[in-house]
Structure 1
């Protein structure tokens, strides 16, 4: 039988939501850094297998991440040149 969810007052709820917001922002920042590093490692010649062994991603996800970052960078560079 599932336990009931405790009832929080508004101040407690707000405190928990601020903690979640901070943790989410920190996670998004470090995830972006990891994605960029995966793309850089791939461009430097590190194999997808080695990337997968050293990150929480499979070879396919590492390939997709590297491709997305390279595409994003290409679009950003093209926009900056205009």
Structure 2
């Protein structure tokens, strides 16, 4: 699992729209750097990874979030609050 986490961190990328989507889904108003720091911290704290279809689902129970990442491009798709999943 650690090899996969390091590979994700190495290739991780974002789109402009994903920053807006993350703030909307988490009901926050974070800056780009705050979002990137949150994602990095959550990925490093991940205790469960699911590979379903074309996506990875990373679970960070400390911050109660699930990160959805495209398994081919390593692009962040969205972040969901586990309280609402």
Q: TM-score range by the shorter chain?
A: under 0.3
Instruction: Please identify the structure whose Cα radius of gyration is greater.
Output: 1
| TM-score, length basis structure 1 | 0.28
Higher relative contact order (CA 8 A, sep 6+): 2
Q: Which structure: greater strand fraction?
A: 2
| TM-score, length basis structure 2 | 0.27
Q: Which structure: greater helix fraction?
A: 1
